[in-house]
Homo-oligomer: A and B are copies of this chain.
């Protein structure tokens, strides 16, 4: 029987786990520092030793999310430029649907960019990967085209996680991939 120790040992990490769990259960707005502390088995104010405020906890979760997303992208190694983009787009949507809560924290939890430049920087780094991948397809306007590409994938992911896509049933799948295919075919 493990006695409750004064020092938790791995509180910061435990709090982040509790945070994402809570967002899964109640949404980003339903998350509270108090409840996360309760779940980690510490007093309500203990989290403030590790995070400046409530938002900082969400920002830390978002940061992890972008790191994961980066890994998802770098793991796609298709040779054909189009197929690679299709795979990335579908992987992006799969990532969002696999953990909508994490996706919500990353993009829709109202984290302030000014107070958390690290999160924005990480998001930009992920964007760089897309610029590279898109550059293999069209050397012209890589940045702009990458923004278009990301928008397609992000649009599907955002609408899908919010259940706003009436005609997107589970089996329909690969909506992003199909859209990207059309888009890349249209880039003369």
Residues of A participating in the B interface, judged by any CB pair closer than 8 Å: 27-29, 104, 107-108, 110, 113, 120, 123-124, 127, 143-144, 146-148, 150-156, 158-159, 162-168, 172, 175-176, 178-179, 181-188
Contacts and interface: CB of A to CB of B under 8 A. Distances in A.
A29 to B, nearest CB: 5
Contact of A181 (B144, B159, B184, B186): B186
B123 A164 contact: yes
B127 A166 contact: yes
A44 to B, nearest CB: 20
Contact of A183 (B27, B164, B168, B186): B186
A78 to B, nearest CB: 19
Taking the full assembly, how many copies of this chain does it contain? 2
A182 B175 contact: no
A168 B158 CA distance: 19
Interface of A, secondary structure class, is helix
26 contacts: A104-B110, A107-B108, A107-B162, A107-B164, A108-B110, A120-B164, A127-B164, A144-B167, A144-B178, A146-B167, A147-B166, A147-B167, A147-B175, A150-B155, A151-B152, A151-B156, A151-B179, A152-B152, A152-B155, A152-B179, A154-B155, A154-B158, A182-B183, A182-B186, A184-B186, A185-B188
B144 A175 contact: yes
Nearest to A167: B143
A159 B127 CA distance: 12
A187 B188 CA distance: 13
B150 A159 contact: yes
Contact of A151 (B27, B124, B143, B159): B159
A134 B127 CA distance: 29
